[in-house]
């Protein structure tokens, strides 16, 4: 397939930007936090208040190791109170990697002549979904290059196809998408297809840096991308995810910009983003990034804790870009969702023995290529509940309704039981004996420790039904 960037017309109409770079930079330059001020902010966060930009700047500018440990401890406590011990699992499925953009950090960029381009056929898409289902996956995010071939109609059709695939006891119950920004009508089409979260990352909120990295194609339009989720909300798609690619600019600026974006959505639409993602730069084919803004492990783990405190009811997604030891650490004080069993090469899930990474066939290289079973084994060992829950989306607890449940903390009474039920399904259908033994022991422990005694009888009844073959039980 041949393509030219000029074939993709950049829209003329733009909404006004709500990111004020001068405001954010002024805060970062002005604030020199004292220990007393840091602890005041941590107390407000402990009461589950959304933090202001100024309060978030206090935390990101904190440098004393003792105070950073207090920030992490506060995030760990808050995460436990809001999310319990569950970790939601998903897998990314790349549908096609044609792209008209030239992003210096991305292996899919249009100028990369080494990139091997491919779009899954319908049969290949089905084969890959079946392979994911055979491993126990229930939640996918479909990823598309930014190209006219991947129109709203095309995306809607692939989403419908994925939902139709059933392999044994397997099924995909939640399809999120990561795709190019659309006009309102396009968002309406993909909403009607039954997508879960629509995810788009600004990559960097710093306008000048953005222009340096995005040298061609549709993505050069900073404002059209920035306001994409406003158009999604106008289309009735109220379940959205934002994110930053850390390493393109000062991480402190990006954290404050994420908070500003969250505040903007809440102020305008009464609902913030359902998730925030915070991937770090990784090597990609024809990679063209200098090391100036790369984020150290120390700063990365800190920024996750700060985000957890700043937006207590927003899900935080950590991807397999990060190595196993970093994933293990930040799950303690921030992360609520991770991918597992990840393969980025187009069509690789259907290749059973495919493990090696080829940068010319992938958007970037990942650091954690463990299987879903291996990730679940570690989660069980650490006392987490691996969850494939999709109940809120199918019960209508999304958008503003989700906030009504989650902000007072009521969502936990649904999430923990539903996580246990989806874990039980996995143990019955896919887990080897050793994993099943650990999993059922954890379920018994959580039933005693975390489920309201007045409610536990009903949870136990549903667990027994799963053992006898019933599936997809949830509250």
Same domain, 104 and 163: yes
Helix axes 411-429, 65-83, angle to 10 degrees: 80
Q: Are 98 and 276 in contact (CB under 8 A)?
A: no
Count the alpha carbons within 13 Å of 330 in the hemisphere toward its beta carbon: 29
- 25 is a domain residue: no
- 396 is a domain residue: no
Residue whose tokens read 């436990």: 80
Same domain, 250 and 151: yes
Domain finish residue from 370, 400, 428: 370
- 60 is a domain residue: no
Burial class (CB in 10 A: 0-12, 13-18, 19+), 255: buried
Rounded Cα–Cα distance for residues 3 and 216 (Å):
13
Number of domains forming the structure of the chain: 2
| Residue 267: how many other CB atoms lie within 10 Å | 10
* The two structure tokens encoding residue 298: 């120390």
Note the pLDDT of residue 355.
78
Same domain, 312 and 459: no
DSSP state of 161: H
Same domain, 307 and 413: no
Rounded Cα–Cα distance for residues 21 and 171 (Å):
44
* The two structure tokens encoding residue 150: 């991947």
CATH of the domain at 164: 3.20.20.70
Same domain, 100 and 203: yes
* The two structure tokens encoding residue 272: 């913030």
* The two structure tokens encoding residue 90: 């998903």
Rounded Cα–Cα distance for residues 447 and 442 (Å):
9
Q: What is the pTM of this model?
A: 0.93
Rounded Cα–Cα distance for residues 65 and 71 (Å):
10
Q: Are 259 and 310 in contact (CB under 8 A)?
A: yes
pLDDT by position in tens, the chain (length 475) = 333 433 434 344 445 679 999 999 999 999 999 999 999 999 999 999 999 999 999 999 999 999 999 999 999 999 999 899 999 999 999 999 999 999 999 999 999 999 999 999 999 999 999 999 999 999 999 999 999 999 999 999 999 999 999 999 999 999 999 999 999 999 999 999 999 999 999 999 999 999 999 999 999 999 999 999 999 999 999 999 999 999 999 999 999 999 999 999 999 999 999 999 999 999 999 999 989 999 999 999 999 999 999 999 999 999 999 999 999 999 999 899 999 999 999 999 999 877 789 999 999 999 999 999 999 999 999 999 999 999 877 777 665 555 555 655 566 678 899 999 999 999 999 999 999 999 999 999 999 988 888 889 999 999 999 999 999 999 8
Domain finish residue from 340, 370, 400: 370
Same domain, 218 and 160: yes
- 55 is a domain residue: no
User: H/E element holding 76?
Assistant: helix 65-83
Note the pLDDT of residue 21.
94
Note the pLDDT of residue 7.
41
Rounded Cα–Cα distance for residues 458 and 449 (Å):
16
Q: Are 258 and 306 in contact (CB under 8 A)?
A: no
Domain containing 435 equals 408-467
Same domain, 275 and 417: no
Rounded Cα–Cα distance for residues 141 and 375 (Å):
18
């Amino acid at each position: 397939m041949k393509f030219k960037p000029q074939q993709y017309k950049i829209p003329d109409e733009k909404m006004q930007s709500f990111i004020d770079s001068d405001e954010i930079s002024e805060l970062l330059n002005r604030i020199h936090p004292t220990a007393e001020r840091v602890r005041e902010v941590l107390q407000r966060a402990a009461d589950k208040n959304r933090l202001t930009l100024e309060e978030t700047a206090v935390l990101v500018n904190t440098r004393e190791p003792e105070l950073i440990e207090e920030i992490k401890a506060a995030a760990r406590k808050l995460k436990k109170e809001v999310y319990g011990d569950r970790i939601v699992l998903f897998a990314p499925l790349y549908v096609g990697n044609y792209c008209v953009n030239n992003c210096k950090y991305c292996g899919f960029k249009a100028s990369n002549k080494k990139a091997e381009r491919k779009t899954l056929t319908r049969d290949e898409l089905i084969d890959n979904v079946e392979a994911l289902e055979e491993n126990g996956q229930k939640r996918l995010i479909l990823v598309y290059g930014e190209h006219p071939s991947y129109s709203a109609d095309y995306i809607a059709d692939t989403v419908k196809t994925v939902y139709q695939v059933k392999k044994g006891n397997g099924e995909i119950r939640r399809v999120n998408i990561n795709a190019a920004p659309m006009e309102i009508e396009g968002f309406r089409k993909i909403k009607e297809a039954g997508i879960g979260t629509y995810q788009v990352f600004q990559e960097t909120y710093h306008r000048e840096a953005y222009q340096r990295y995005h040298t061609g194609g549709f993505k050069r339009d900073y404002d059209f991308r920035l306001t994409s989720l406003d158009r999604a909300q106008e289309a009735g798609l109220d379940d959205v995810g934002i994110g930053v690619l850390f390493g393109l600019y000062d991480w402190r600026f990006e954290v404050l910009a994420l908070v500003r974006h969250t505040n903007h959505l809440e102020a305008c639409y009464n609902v913030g983003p359902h998730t925030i993602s915070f991937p770090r730069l990784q090597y990609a084919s024809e990679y063209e990034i200098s090391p100036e803004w790369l984020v150290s492990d120390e700063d990365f783990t800190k920024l996750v804790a700060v985000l957890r405190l700043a937006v207590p009811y927003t899900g935080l997604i950590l991807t397999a870009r990060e190595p196993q030891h970093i994933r293990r650490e930040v799950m303690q004080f921030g992360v609520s969702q991770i991918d597992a069993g990840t393969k980025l090469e187009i069509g690789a899930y259907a290749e059973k023995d495919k493990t090696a990474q080829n940068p010319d066939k992938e958007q970037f290289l990942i650091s954690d290529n463990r299987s879903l079973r291996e990730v679940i084994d570690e989660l069980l060992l650490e006392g987490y509940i691996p969850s494939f829950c999709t109940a809120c989306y199918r019960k209508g607890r999304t958008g503003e309704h989700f906030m009504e449940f989650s902000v007072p903390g009521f969502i936990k009474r649904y999430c923990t039981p539903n996580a246990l039920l989806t874990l039980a399904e996995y143990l019955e259908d896919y887990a080897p004996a050793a994993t099943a033994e650990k999993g059922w022991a954890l379920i018994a422990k959580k039933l005693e420790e975390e489920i309201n005694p007045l409610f536990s009888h009903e949870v136990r009844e549903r667990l027994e039904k799963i053992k006898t073959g019933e599936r997809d039980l949830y509250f």
